[in-house]
Each structure stands twice: as C-alpha cells, then as structure tokens.
Amino acid sequence: MFKEALYQKVKFRKLSRQDRHSLGLGLAFISPWIIGFLLLTMYPIFISLYYSFTNFTLFTPPGWVGLQNYVELFTRDDKFFVSLSNTAFFILMAVPASVVTALLLALLLNARLWGKTFFRSLFFLPTIVPAVASAAVWMWILNPQWGLLNTSLRMVGLPGPPWLSSPAWAKPSLVVVALWGIGSEVIIYLAALQEIPRDYYEAALVDGANGMQRSLYITIPLVTPVIFFHLINGTIWAFQYFTEAFVMTGGGPANATLFYALYLYRNAFTNVKMGYASAQAWILFVLVMAASLIIMRSSKGWVYYEG
C-alpha cells in the first residue's frame, strides 16, 4: 500500500468539477485530523527544533544559544551518554528477546492443542494491565528477600540475584517485565501463522522434510514480514521506554536504568530546561528514524514477500 501511494502520480491536470467536489468532501471529513496534525504534530516538530537552539526554561522567553545544547549534550553531559547506552542496551536485549518469545509462544498456540483459546487470552491479559500496576506487582515479585521469584529460587536451593537493586541486574529485570507484556505480538504472529496454507506443509512432508526443516524453510520465511514490523515497532517503543523505569527504579541504582526518555522527562519537567530537553528530543527523533531506516534497508535481504 505504501508503494502504491508513493508511485501514484498525482496528475496536475485541471480537476473536473466532480473531482473538485469530492476533494472538498474528503478534506472536510478528514479536517479534524488536518487541524490536529498541523497544530499538535507539525508545528511542535518544528518549534521544538527551534527550542533546541535556545535556553528556554518556561519562565523566560527563549534566547538563541546556537548549538550550545547539542555541544553540551555530546561533550559534557555524562548522564546523556549513560542514558543513551542504557537505552541501546535495553533495545538490543528486549527487542530480540521479545521477537523470539512471541514467535515461540505463537508457534506453541498454533499447534493443535486443547484449550489454546484459553492460553491465548492468558498471554494477552498482561498487555491490558496499566504499566503502573504491573510495575507495582513486579517490584514485589522481584523483591530480593520476600519476592515470589527469589523465594521460589530459594526453595529449589538456588541463590536469587538482587534484581532491581543491583546495577547489573536492573536492566535484565525490566526486560523480563517487558516480556510479560508480549501478548499482542503473540496474537499478530498467530494470525500470520494461521494464514500459511496447509498444502505447503503437506508438500514438504511428502518431500520428506522433517519438523525442523519445515519450520526453517516454510514457517520462518512466511512470518518474516511480521518479524519486520515487530522489529520496527519494538525498537520505536523501546526508545521511548519510560513508565516502568520511572515507577520501579526511578533511573537507579547508580543510573543503571536511566533511559533516554526518563532523562529527557527529567530535564524537561523536573529541571525545566525545555531548550535542552528539546535538543534531546530531536536527537531521539533522528535516532528513531535512523534505526527504522536501517531495519527497512536490511529488510530487502531477509524479509520474504509472497507473490
């Protein structure tokens, strides 16, 4: 659909009366979106670029400082680099882990098993839980002393790590929490799996392909478009990861969970350095676009489109 629209040549011939009428009607119907898009998306994107070159603090009018915010972020602000590397680390852990987990769960649900609608609902359930509530529950489960996880580990004689209270374990803990909310991706994979024609597997079976070969050469190639979308969505989501870290760790211990969006929020609304935070926002914007572009570029090599 993207291609179709992009390659569609808008003809600049004089529009007929009918065309002008329907253009007017169409624009009238989408006018709420146009207004919202201009006022709450386009204007903010560009004014935020302007703010990023100022020392705007809410209480004083913005004063032009040139590249100073960017220079400070990249050369003097240690926390900025910490937040950047924390976020990179989180993306590289959480996104692949969620792709693998969601795909495996979907494969499991796709097998002919009794009660799979029940399990599908069960896997989906955590995704509708408010992030703050799931944060509250997981803080308790991950409690080093009395939490469910470590008491269970203790019962089988294993020492439990200190989870959220250690700099080394805090990020992996948050990845576990994120994996709990994988349910909607599972449903998307499951829908893709159910669309694969049965004949493909039967044909492969006749040719003597074993289960491993069938998943490697039929299932995986046919769900690559979904994996591709999951990678893009997941990466964009992980760049903005905020609520769980804000509630559970507040960026600690020792800034181990000071993620990009958290540091940005702090500069904007705690330190009221709106200009500085706008520079952060624009860097985020560029990073998100770059990451999406890289994934899209790479997709030519590994995403399989049927037909």
Partner 1 sequence: MKAEPVMMRAQSHALRKRSKFWGTLEQIVLYSLLFACGCGFIAPFLTMISTSLKANAQIFVYPPMLIPNPPQWQNYPEAMKYAPFGRYYLNSFFLCATVVFGTLSSNTLIAYGFSRIRWVGRDVVFVIVLATLMLPAQVTMIPVYIIFRKLGWVGGYLPLIVPAYFGSAYFTFLLRQFFRGIPFELSDAARIDGCSEVSILWYIILPLAKPALVTVALFSFIYTWNDFLGPLIYLHDQNLYTVTLGLQAFISRYWTPQNLLMAAATMAILPVLVIFIWAQRFFVEGISITGLSGR
**Member of 134, 173, 249, 255 binding partner 1 (CB under 8 A):** 134
Nearest to 296 by CA among 246, 228, 236, 194: 228
**Member of 67, 191, 203, 254 binding partner 1 (CB under 8 A):** 191
Say if residues 281 and 45 touch (Cβ distance below 8 Å): no
- Cα–Cα distance measured from residue 274 to residue 48, given in angstroms and rounded to the nearest whole number: 9
First to last CA, the chain: 15
Nearest to 66 by CA among 275, 226, 267, 241: 275
**With the C-alpha atoms ordered 247, 259, 150, 176, is the resulting torsion angle positive or negative?**
positive
Nearest to 258 by CA among 87, 77, 73: 87
CA angle (189 as vertex; 285, 225 as ends), nearest 5: 60
* Site membership for partner 1, residue 165 (CB under 8 A): no
* Site membership for partner 1, residue 136 (CB under 8 A): yes
* Site membership for partner 1, residue 4 (CB under 8 A): yes
* Site membership for partner 1, residue 285 (CB under 8 A): yes
Query: With contacts defined by CB under 8 A, how many residues of the chain interact with partner 1?
Result: 102
**Member of 73, 82, 103, 135 binding partner 1 (CB under 8 A):** 135
Binding mask 168-187 for partner 1 (x = CB under 8 A): ------------xx--xx-x
Q: Quick one: 82 or 248, whose CB is closer to partner 1?
A: 248
CB of 256 to partner 1, least distance (A): 19
* Site membership for partner 1, residue 30 (CB under 8 A): yes
Applying the rule CB under 8 A, the residues between 258 and 277 that interact with partner 1 are 261, 264-265, 268-269, 274, 277
Contacting range for partner 1; rule: CB under 8 A; set: 6-14, 167-175, 216-224, 298-306:
6-14
**Member of 82, 94, 99, 141 binding partner 1 (CB under 8 A):** 141
- Cα–Cα distance measured from residue 268 to residue 277, given in angstroms and rounded to the nearest whole number: 5
**Member of 73, 226, 245, 295 binding partner 1 (CB under 8 A):** 226
Nearest to 85 by CA among 287, 298, 305: 287
Contacting range for partner 1; rule: CB under 8 A; set: 67-75, 89-97, 166-174, 280-288:
280-288
Applying the rule CB under 8 A, the residues between 64 and 103 that interact with partner 1 are none
Say if residues 260 and 277 touch (Cβ distance below 8 Å): no
Question: Which residues, 6+ apart, have CB-to-CB distance to 193 below 8 Å?
Answer: 106, 107, 110, 219, 223
* Site membership for partner 1, residue 148 (CB under 8 A): yes
CB of 278 to partner 1, least distance (A): 5
